[in-house]
């Protein structure tokens, strides 16, 4: 039996609830696949600040560096908004991504047939949509220097080096090879030199991937096109700031952030987490949608542990439960059966068994 090391960072708000459900699903699937996970639980975010005075304790980081993968729940809540910038829960995520070298963020936005009416867009527009946004995660305007502010102005720097662009572009090209073979490079090369550089680097790699069709699009047009006709996209690759925005737009075509998983990957490490936030207003009420975290587990099994059959099994179980009409509160409608977090877990595990 193959054994892997998994560090679990449940975090704040609904994080512990959805992570517990996802681990229950992982236990079932790993047992069926004859693999084992040694799970180490550590603090992160606001709960870590409350207990040790810092949102990313050193022993949490040390555990992540010794792991094969990291599973994260969610961090943050309004009650910590007044903390100094460097102590806010969200800074733990930036620190963790940087320390682990997680330069690529994979955000799939797939519309399940059973949920086509949950989107705010027309079913004819969103039906069949399956978009993968590949966002550069450790560079660009969020990290480049100089940066700062004084009484009269604030400033940030947007810069990318060739190595940064090439490595994220290769991730996107390789993903496109495994999907429909279509890659869209999103930038703002008409006004930004950094985007002109981005465009040229991505275009220079295209001959290495002759089976991938490469197109490009300005970011403002891409935002509009995602809403107008999301089915035209397969894989989108873009810089940090643009990816932050576009991935949330793509997320909403599915009807709920509670449905969307993500993977943050580097050369050696990977972290998996749901896209949604900590939702402190429903924490402890057994209402949270655990599907995004469950599907983050599926991404982990596929991308880090090379178990695509396990990922397909989880995704199929989720799809069947939705087809049966079971919904948590965030995606429920008058034609569905509303269930709690734990009940959704039970239905998915029943399908897995």
pLDDT of residue 94: 87
- In CATH terms, the superfamily for domain 120-256 is Isopropylmalate Dehydrogenase (3.40.718.10)
pLDDT of residue 119: 84
Q: Out of 188, 269, 313, 330, pick the active-site residue.
A: 188
Q: Out of 112, 142, 160, 326, pick the active-site residue.
A: 142
Q: What residue spans define the domains of the chain?
A: 1-103+266-353, 120-256
CATH classification number, 1-103+266-353, choose in 2.40.10.10, 3.40.718.10, 3.10.580.10, 3.40.50.720? 3.40.718.10
Tell me the chain's radius of gyration from C-alpha atoms. Answer: 20
Tell me, yes or no, if 209 is annotated catalytic: no
Q: Which residues contact 289 (CB under 8 A, 6 or more apart)?
A: 18, 256, 258, 259, 276, 328, 329, 330, 331, 341, 344
Q: Are 230 and 253 in contact (CB under 8 A)?
A: yes
Tell me, yes or no, if 244 is annotated catalytic: yes
pTM for the structure as a whole: 0.91
Q: Out of 248, 324, 329, 351, pick the active-site residue.
A: 248
pLDDT of residue 252: 82
Cis peptide before 286 (omega within 30 of 0): no
Query: What φ, ψ does residue 265 adopt, rounded to 5°?
Result: -130, 150
Question: Could you list the pLDDT tens digit for every one of the 353 residues in the chain?
Answer: 899 999 999 999 999 999 999 999 999 999 999 999 999 999 999 999 999 999 999 999 999 999 999 999 999 999 999 999 899 999 999 899 989 999 999 999 999 888 888 888 899 999 999 999 999 999 999 989 999 999 999 999 999 999 999 999 999 999 999 999 999 999 999 999 999 999 999 999 999 999 999 999 999 999 999 999 999 999 999 999 999 999 989 888 887 777 899 999 999 999 999 999 999 999 999 999 999 999 999 999 999 999 999 999 999 999 999 999 999 998 888 889 999 999 999 999 999 99
Provide the pairing of β-strand 270-274 with 261-265.
Answer: antiparallel
Q: Would you give the distance in Å from CA 318 to the centre of its chain?
A: 18
pLDDT of residue 256: 75
pLDDT of residue 52: 97
Question: Half-sphere exposure of residue 237, counting CA atoms within 13 Å on the CB side?
Answer: 28
pLDDT of residue 334: 87
Question: 265: which 2 tokens?
Answer: 């990957």
Strand partners, 37: 4
Q: Out of 62, 220, 229, 333, pick the active-site residue.
A: 220
Tell me, yes or no, if 220 is annotated catalytic: yes
Tell me, yes or no, if 248 is annotated catalytic: yes
Q: Out of 12, 24, 244, 330, pick the active-site residue.
A: 244
């Amino acid at each position: 039996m193959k054994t892997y090391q998994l560090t679990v960072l449940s975090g704040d708000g609904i994080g512990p609830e959805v992570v517990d459900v996802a681990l229950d699903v992982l236990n079932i699937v790993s047992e069926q696949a004859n693999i084992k996970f040694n799970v180490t639980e550590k603090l992160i975010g606001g709960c870590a600040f409350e207990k040790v005075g810092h949102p990313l304790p050193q022993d949490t980081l040390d555990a992540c560096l010794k792991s094969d993968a990291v599973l994260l729940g969610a961090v943050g809540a309004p009650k910590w908004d007044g903390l100094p910038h460097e102590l806010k829960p969200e800074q733990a995520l930036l620190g963790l991504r940087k320390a682990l070298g997680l330069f690529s963020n994979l955000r799939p936005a797939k519309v399940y047939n059973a949920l086509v009416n949950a989107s705010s867009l027309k079913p004819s527009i969103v039906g069949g949509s399956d978009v993968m946004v590949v966002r550069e995660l450790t560079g660009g305007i969020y990290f480049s220097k100089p940066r700062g502010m004084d009484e009269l102005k604030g400033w940030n720097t947007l810069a990318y080096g060739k190595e940064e662009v090439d490595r994220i572009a290769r991730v996107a090209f390789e993903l496109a090879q495994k999907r429909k073979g279509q890659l869209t490079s999103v930038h703002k090369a008409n006004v930004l030199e950094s985007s002109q550089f981005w465009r040229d680097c991505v275009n220079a790699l295209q001959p290495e991937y002759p089976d991938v069709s490469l197109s490009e699009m300005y970011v403002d047009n891409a935002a509009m096109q995602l809403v107008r006709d999301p089915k035209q996209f397969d894989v989108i690759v873009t810089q940090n700031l643009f990816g932050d925005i576009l991935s949330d737009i793509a997320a909403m075509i599915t009807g709920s952030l509670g449905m969307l998983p993500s993977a943050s990957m580097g050369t050696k490490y990977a972290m998996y987490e749901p896209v949604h936030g900590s939702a402190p207003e429903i924490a402890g009420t057994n209402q949270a949608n655990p599907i995004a975290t469950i599907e983050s587990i599926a991404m982990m099994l596929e991308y880090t542990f090379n178990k695509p059959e396990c990922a397909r099994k989880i995704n199929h179980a989720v799809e069947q439960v939705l087809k049966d009409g079971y919904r948590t509160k965030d995606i429920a409608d008058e034609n569905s059966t509303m269930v709690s977090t734990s009940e959704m877990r039970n239905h998915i595990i029943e399908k897995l068994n």
